[in-house]
Amino acid sequence: MLEPVGTDIKIGEGAKKMDKEEASRGHGDYVHDIENDGVEDESAGIGRYWSELSDKTNASTKPLLVKRTNTTSQIAIVGSNLFPIESLDYEIFDNQIFKQDWRSRTKVQILQYLTLKWGFAFLIGLGSGLVGFFNSFAVENIAGFKLILTISLMSESRYVEAFVAYAGVNICLAAAAAALCAFIAPAAAGSGIPEVKAYLNGVDAHTILAPSTLCVKIFGSILGVSAGFVVGKEGPMVHTGACIASLLGQGGSRKYGLTWNWLRYFKNDRDRRDMITCGAAAGVAAAFRAPVGGVLFALEEAASWWRSALLWRTFFTTAVVAIVSRVAIGFCSTGKCGLFGEGGLIMYEVSSASATYSATDILAVIILGIIAGILGSLYNYLVDKVVRTYSIINEKGAAFKISLVVIIAILTSSCYYFLPWIANCTPCPSDVTVSCPSLDNSGEYRRFQCPPGYYNDLASLFLNTNDDAIRNLFSPKITKEFHISSLFIYFVTIFFLGIITYGIAIPSGLFIPVILAGAGYGRLIGRLFEPITKLDRGLFALLGAASFLGGTMRMTVSICVILLELTNDLLLLPLVMLVLLVSKTVADNFNKGVYDQILKIKGLPYMEAHAEPYMRTLVTRDVLSGPLITFFGIEKVRDILHALTTTGHNGFPVIDEPPISDSPELCGLVLRSHLLVLLKEKIFSRDKNLVDQSTLQRISALDFGKAGSGKGIKVEDLDIEDEEMDLYVDLHPITNASPYTVIETMSLAKAAILFRQHGLRHMCVVPKSQGRPPIVGILTRHDFMPEHVLGLYPNIDSHKWQ
């Protein structure tokens, strides 16, 4: 075991000035822990105290390769692009200035805050609801007209022109979506759910919630879905909801002139996180018209942190979404929205009146779940491989990105258009109420190449929007039948198209591909199991979709409720629950959920809810690394400036010494951003005195509000004169006097859970015994990452302690 570093450093040795060259040579045994880091070492040196690896994530813009073993990436690969990331801090920052501000709040201000909080929840719901409506409206119209064009050309037997029209429109739409992503907001590519999940875990990738990302996400998603890709709008809607929330929470966007100064109460990570949680819920609620499902999705999948007050606010947000959706559907059902508005509020209504089942039915369902679990984990495995491959291609430039999208568009169009030719023609049902073959956009019976009076069942699946294909697959047997061969072709095609489509540079949700593949799979299994079960095949399709969702996303309650709200069939609940349990259990043996995998690929340092078992054998001081840099309660400007310029640390412990205190004691923690405010405002004094109230009047709590993502004062913005360098700064007013502390012998597992549950950015490690410096190190997110810990202790058996 490594000897704990830093324990033999004496407090109060006085500053030993080092120039940058000297510092950059590293410091013997302290630096070995971070020497593989590639980013930090050259800036870690400062003479006096040594930082035991404080927060480094905001430190550099030097890109890292995806394959890094021994450290966390400071730069995440998001949407196949490199972005700086930053840790968030959900702690209540308990310094004098904030306390003063909090105490002086008037009733009116509190009321204003509460009103804004609920007003924002309302606006998030309203915004998400409207975007969801706009998205459906646009997709249904664009894709609908495309399909009508294709079908009408085909009905005149102009097959080549039909393909050219079909593929041409798809390629144009796809290229437009890709161009938006490539040139305007690369962060808008992909699902967005992993990034939102990371944000709510405490990792902010800067551009991920920017207004430009929001715009591209909305329009890119419409274009992408309309282009016939096997992608959904759900992930993008979650991301959109989060962006809307972030836009409001950051006090608008200065870049686009959308700012409101009266939003100062929300200038902290805590309130923003709550709003973004609401936004994620609103996104699901808008995408699926599933308000309760949205709340549960936010709770189960998106959020790392929860409290009942938030449940209540999230619920309000999704209620607003539900009402907006309802009004919009009501408005459109009268035909005012073009091709949109026929479906009603329930997206895939299932009405399987018979809901009795026997033991063999349950056996069939269990087998369905087991296979789906295996296929689901295979799906995740392949998505992982594909995304890794694509990110290499996408890194080469915008042209590569767009080309990749176009290639996949051509492939998708070809599959959709040419595969139905294999299928046999089926005579139209004798029921006169159905129009067969159907010519409208959401046709259940596509004639395709068949003679009049016949229809092509495979075309009815392929030549439709994704939503209509799902509706067809869920329809009960009496309405509609699909051949086994058609279902098999459909399932295999969608399964692989879904995999190769995720990772291209367009906004792409994963829900719909999984539901499509699952519904195809379920209906196929239903047909194959005909001899042993009497369950309806539409029901099998629904169970297949549920099992695939369980197998890939590994959610449970939220999927259940979302499916309930999508299909409005409560009687199926026990079977849906059963199949979800089986598929999730099977799939969990192979790999992790798809979003967790993508998080990992993107290099986002996500903290798991549980600690790794081997962490129970370590204590906190075992993972401390790097030099610890501390400040005195009253510190020289020069030393502060030196620490800020030569390190990337975001938090520094403050130590009081005699005469200010009787003995050396930990005063608290200061943040880089707060130090910068103090330096910028030049709250200096000539002597080592505590700052007086009149000087402090020059700054207010507002100045210390957390700036928007990636904004705020930088060291380069400071303008400190040479003669000011030897003045003093009193750090007490900005020192968080209640930092979270753990004792150095605290189990690392417990510390990790503490860190995660409180959404911390820095955690102070204090010594166990007397006569030592009052702080021995600072733990950050980085220090809990398995890569870091296993890097320090390569001989630990990471698998033994399950």
Segment 781 to 800, residues that bind its own copies, using CB under 8 A: none
Q: Which is nearer to its own copies, 97 or 296 (CB)?
A: 296
As measured in angstroms, the least distance from the Cβ of 194 to its own copies is 16
C-alpha 29/C-alpha 792 separation (Å) is: 13
As measured in angstroms, the least distance from the Cβ of 265 to its own copies is 14
As measured in angstroms, the least distance from the Cβ of 609 to its own copies is 6
In the range 664-683, which residues lie near its own copies by CB under 8 A?
Answer: 664-666
Q: Write the CB contacts of 694 (distance below 8 Å, at least 6 apart in sequence).
A: none
What would the DSSP string read from start to end of 622-676? Answer: HH--S-B--EESEEEHHHHHHHHHH---SEEEEEE-TTTSSS-EEEEEEEHHHHH
Q: Is the Cβ–Cβ distance between 80 and 395 less than 8 Å?
A: yes
Nearest to 500 by CA among 419, 405, 590, 420: 405
Size of the site for its own copies (CB under 8 A): 80
Q: Which is nearer to its own copies, 400 or 740 (CB)?
A: 740
Contact between 356 and its own copies by CB under 8 A: the answer reads yes
Contact between 291 and its own copies by CB under 8 A: the answer reads yes
Question: Which member of 488, 747, 786, 790 binds its own copies (CB under 8 A)?
Answer: 747
C-alpha 54/C-alpha 35 separation (Å) is: 15
Q: Which is nearer to its own copies, 62 or 610 (CB)?
A: 610
Q: Is the Cβ–Cβ distance between 721 and 84 less than 8 Å?
A: no
Q: Where are the alpha helices (DSSP H) in 347-483?
A: 359-394, 398-418, 457-462, 466-474
User: Binding string, 85-124, against its own copies, x = CB under 8 A?
Assistant: -------x-x----x--xx---x--x--------------
In the range 385-404, which residues lie near its own copies by CB under 8 A?
Answer: none
Q: Which is nearer to its own copies, 95 or 465 (CB)?
A: 95
The identity of residue 347, as a single letter, is: M
Question: Which member of 217, 273, 584, 621 binds its own copies (CB under 8 A)?
Answer: 584
As measured in angstroms, the least distance from the Cβ of 648 to its own copies is 27
Nearest to 238 by CA among 109, 350, 128, 369: 128
The strand order across the sheet containing 684-685 reads 634-636, 728-730, 684-685
Contact between 661 and its own copies by CB under 8 A: the answer reads yes
In the range 295-314, which residues lie near its own copies by CB under 8 A?
Answer: 295-296, 299-300, 306-309, 311-312
In the range 607-636, which residues lie near its own copies by CB under 8 A?
Answer: 609-610, 616-617, 619
As measured in angstroms, the least distance from the Cβ of 533 to its own copies is 17
Contact between 743 and its own copies by CB under 8 A: the answer reads yes
Contact between 126 and its own copies by CB under 8 A: the answer reads no
C-alpha 155/C-alpha 452 separation (Å) is: 9
Give the range of 211-219, 288-296, 492-500, 682-690 binding its own copies by CB under 8 A.
288-296
Contact between 701 and its own copies by CB under 8 A: the answer reads no
As measured in angstroms, the least distance from the Cβ of 295 to its own copies is 5
In the range 539-578, which residues lie near its own copies by CB under 8 A?
Answer: 556-557, 560-561, 564-565, 568, 570-571, 573-574, 577-578
Q: Are strands 203-205 and 81-87 parallel, antiparallel or unpaired?
A: antiparallel
Using only the alpha carbons of the chain, give its radius of gyration.
Answer: 29
Give the range of 35-43, 478-486, 496-504, 742-750 binding its own copies by CB under 8 A.
742-750
Residue 6, classed as helix, strand or coil, is coil
C-alpha 765/C-alpha 630 separation (Å) is: 13
In the range 324-353, which residues lie near its own copies by CB under 8 A?
Answer: 326, 330, 345-346
Angle at the Cα of 460 from the Cα atoms of 454 and 465, rounded to 5 degrees: 150
In the range 590-609, which residues lie near its own copies by CB under 8 A?
Answer: 609
Contact between 319 and its own copies by CB under 8 A: the answer reads yes
Structure tokens at 79: 């949407």
C-alpha 434/C-alpha 371 separation (Å) is: 35
Give the range of 490-498, 501-509, 663-671, 686-694 binding its own copies by CB under 8 A.
663-671
Structure tokens at 440: 């409208």
Say if residue 308 is exposed, middle or buried (CB neighbours under 10 Å; 0-12, 13-18, 19+).
exposed
